[in-house]
Structure 1
Amino acid sequence: MLKTSFPRSEISVLLLEGIAPSAVDAFRDAGYERIDVRSGALTGGELIEAAREAHIIGIRSRTHLDAEVLKAARKLVAIGCFCIGTNQVDTAFARRRGVPVFNAPYSNTRSVAELVIAEAILLLRRIPEKHMACHRGDWIKSATGSHEARGKTIGIVGYGHIGTQVGVLAEMLGMRVLYHDIESKLSLGNVEASTGLNELLERADVVTLHVPATRETEGMMGAAEIARMRDGAVLINASRGNVVDLEALREALVSGRIAGAAVDVFPVEPEGNGARFESPLVGLDNALLTPHVGGSTEEAQNGIGREVAEKLLRYSDDGSTLSAVDFPEVTLPRLSSDTRLLHVHENRPGMLKAINETIGSSAANIDAQYLRTLDDVGYVVTDVAVEREAGLQLGEDLRKLPGTLRSRVLF
């Protein structure tokens, strides 16, 4: 019996962790009806049970899709991470099962950049200490150690999407902007590239970190690096929690070596609202701590909802994997009158030949074909001019080829 190409009304979408309504609206507007929306994260058996019938799963940062969950989700076609990071997904295992993973690397950029600039101003004005003093009934009205942002140097470590936006906003305040990145980047405006991290730390009045979580960035701001910062400088970390040695930072803050710090991300964070938060920085008047809210604005979350939902819809409806994380990227035109065959397979010699021989044996005419590979996986998309039943039969034939990981037919 031939497997059918699923109509949108029968595709099951599971959205966890209170994903923005803009994502739900996007799926409904596209004709998807089976949408299971949950406000919180799922774990263990509850997550496995919920994922078992899902074709598309959307999560944020607290739900972990490991190999055990992915094995149980036999119908799974695609995963959407409605955030920047994808560490909560075993992307290599997902790729080997023919499941692309999509994220939102841009939509919260402005929100994070605005928070960083706001924190820079507050720290330069020594507002955190004055704020805490007022709560204790003290009154510290003094200009000592309090500075304008104009004319100061902000050092941006990691000149990517967020780092460049921070630089643009900082220049609008009249700040000098210096950046350090491991790759050569095109500087915007009057931004200057430093010769290295050490030079940036020695020159900057404000150091702000915008790097990914890698082995190279883990602990990159340790005691030695903090010691290189200018006396009275301030440090901001809105990137990843394992980038800064918090014990070393605490020592520098307590001693007054640096004037203040703003930290939005931590090595260990509470599982959810109401859980206890612990950090070496708790209780320090010159430490401005926030609960990982850099991208937590309604504008950012709505943008993330739309961005990731659109990527999932493009893959579900047309097979496009543009900007997929750790999956072969194929940019495709919208599916029109042809039948589209999607074939994910082991990346080994002879697969394209076998696919084309299978299609050729049916006398189907190939109108267009796209191929990309990544590591151990290959992805071939073929548009053929055949009737529906012939297309379904081709899908079945392709599914039987040795080395096939997943095969779909779109109309």
Structure 2
Amino acid sequence: MSKLSLPKDRIKVLLLENVHANAVSFLRRQGYTTIDARGAALSGDDLKAAIADVHMLGIRSRTQVTAEVLAAADKLMAIGCFSIGTDQVDLDAARHRGIPVFNAPYSNTRSVAELVLAEIICLLRGLMEKSWAAHEGAWMKTADGSHEARGKTLGIVGYGHIGSQLSVLAEALGMRVIYHDIVEKLAIGNASPAGDLDTVLREADVVSLHVPSTAETRDMIGARELGLMKPGSHLINAARGEVVDIEALAQALRDGHLAGAAVDVFPKEPGGANEEFRSPLRGLRSVILSPHVGGSTLEAQANIGTEVAEKLVKYSDNGSTAGAVNFVEVTLPQQADCSRFLHIHRNEPGVLSAINGIFTDRGMNIAGEYLRTDGEIGYVVVDVAAEIEAGMGIRKALAAVPGTIRTRFLI
């Protein structure tokens, strides 16, 4: 390999927050050996110091990668969020520094669906109240308010990977499934699309939310929507904390309009185990409260470890950005007897022409060229059918192109 490229065994990888061992083993199998795996999250000056000479960073949900932190990491070329969400990273700041961010949006799908299925049964049987009473010495042996899941209607709001898998599991219990999604989705099994959100709320015995956090979904379930739900029905939120107006939900439960709820995500969550969890839902015996553990299974964490590590390696090895959440997605073929150059730049006129000129001026034939832009940032990958030697001045010439943010050689 030419000395123009940084060898894999010199690419520094920092993994924080007990990222699953699958990630470490996969990276090592691919030839990455300078791996620093630490158990704790880092912040402030400690984080800045730790990533000053790091090329790839892996985190979970507690490490906050701000614009200020990114400014201290000149060598950083990619970030892997070993989680579903990416709120812990300033995605825009990373993009403008030419740093793609990868995550694992589907690796915990089964884990979340199974938790929701368990909550459906617990809510329909009133197990929370009966368990609480038993712990206090009472004996609530009664069938009042206790129902089978079979024959009941489950309303799923958001029919993506988790919602559709929950649909299959619920049907296996004999439930009737209806769903609503802002994008038209093909029904799986015997599930039926509802005309709109209000229809789901009015018809379902249990409503389960599986939508992303967007401006449109913020407080999408408020007092009005809760009022539309059937008296005695149940609400489950394993999506995002901002989706439900918690105060309104607590009131609907106190008033007896809803029989119960299960909530795994909250608008404000503790920063760690030593911080008290506060919520107006505390103390309500018909509510299942869980500390954002929908995807927290050993199986899900193992899958996430492998998936994100694979994406980091693919980007490092051949420049593919498939799966990046803040960057144009380019799926690239393997290099075949050519030298590959990656160029990230501001999307300005003349950049591509200038890049091509650097190679044509040196009599080099371009074997392949891939370009994607998002309006602000451009990403071009050039395969050149020629031997590249130090002293040709290509690196310096590419870096001097107006608008250049970052260049990499894969030679």
So what's the TM-score if we normalise by structure 1? 0.97
Whole-angstrom CA distance in 2 between matches of 1:9 and 1:105: 29
Aligned counterpart, 1:292: 292
Partner secondary structure for residue 389 of structure 2: helix
Whole-angstrom CA distance in 2 between matches of 1:3 and 1:346: 27
Deviation at 1:123, TM superposition (A): 0.4
Aligned counterpart, 1:69: 69
Unaligned regions of 5+ residues in structure 1, if any?
A: none
Query: Are 2:157 and 2:197, in contact at CA under 8 Å, matched by a contact in 1?
Result: yes
Whole-angstrom CA distance in 1 between matches of 2:110 and 2:397: 48
Aligned counterpart, 1:161: 161
Whole-angstrom CA distance in 1 between matches of 2:364 and 2:142: 81
Partner secondary structure for residue 168 of structure 1: helix
Aligned counterpart, 1:248: 248
> Could you report, residue by residue, the CA deviation over 1:10-64 in whole angstroms, capped at 9, with x for unpaired residues?
1111111111110111111111111111212111111111111110011111111
Whole-angstrom CA distance in 2 between matches of 1:336 and 1:48: 38
Structure 1 ranges of 4+ moved more than 6 A = none
> Could you report, residue by residue, the CA deviation over 1:285-312 in whole angstroms, capped at 9, with x for unpaired residues?
1010101000000110000000000000
Q: What residue identity is the alignment partner of 1:189?
A: G
**Does 2:93 align with 1:93?**
yes
Alignment of 1:24-43 (within 5 A): 24-43=24-43
Flag the 1:249–1:391 CA change in 2: closer, same or farther, 3 A: farther
Deviation at 1:253, TM superposition (A): 1.4
Flag the 1:151–1:357 CA change in 2: closer, same or farther, 3 A: same
Query: Are 1:392 and 1:409, in contact at CA under 8 Å, matched by a contact in 2?
Result: no
Whole-angstrom CA distance in 2 between matches of 1:410 and 1:345: 18
Q: What residue identity is the alignment partner of 2:193?
A: A
Q: How big is the alpha-carbon RMSD for the aligned residues of Structure 1 and Structure 2?
A: 1.4
Query: Are 1:264 and 1:292, in contact at CA under 8 Å, matched by a contact in 2?
Result: yes
Unaligned regions of 5+ residues in structure 2, if any?
A: none
Q: What residue identity is the alignment partner of 1:244?
A: V
Q: What residue identity is the alignment partner of 1:94?
A: A
Whole-angstrom CA distance in 1 between matches of 2:268 and 2:17: 19
Partner secondary structure for residue 48 of structure 2: helix
Aligned counterpart, 1:54: 54
Deviation at 1:273, TM superposition (A): 2.3
Moved more, 386-395 or 118-127: 386-395
Aligned counterpart, 1:152: 152
Flag the 1:392–1:193 CA change in 2: closer, same or farther, 3 A: farther
Deviation at 1:403, TM superposition (A): 0.7
Deviation at 1:134, TM superposition (A): 0.5
Deviation at 1:394, TM superposition (A): 2.2
Flag the 1:281–1:410 CA change in 2: closer, same or farther, 3 A: same
Whole-angstrom CA distance in 2 between matches of 1:361 and 1:388: 14
Flag the 1:202–1:392 CA change in 2: closer, same or farther, 3 A: farther
Whole-angstrom CA distance in 2 between matches of 1:327 and 1:392: 30
Query: Are 1:339 and 1:391, in contact at CA under 8 Å, matched by a contact in 2?
Result: no
Whole-angstrom CA distance in 2 between matches of 1:272 and 1:17: 12
**Does 2:259 align with 1:259?**
yes
Deviation at 1:395, TM superposition (A): 2.9
The number of residue pairs the alignment matches comes to 410
**Does 2:383 align with 1:387?**
no
Partner secondary structure for residue 122 of structure 2: helix
Alignment of 1:11-410 (within 5 A): 11-389=11-389, 393-410=393-410
Identity rate, percent: 58
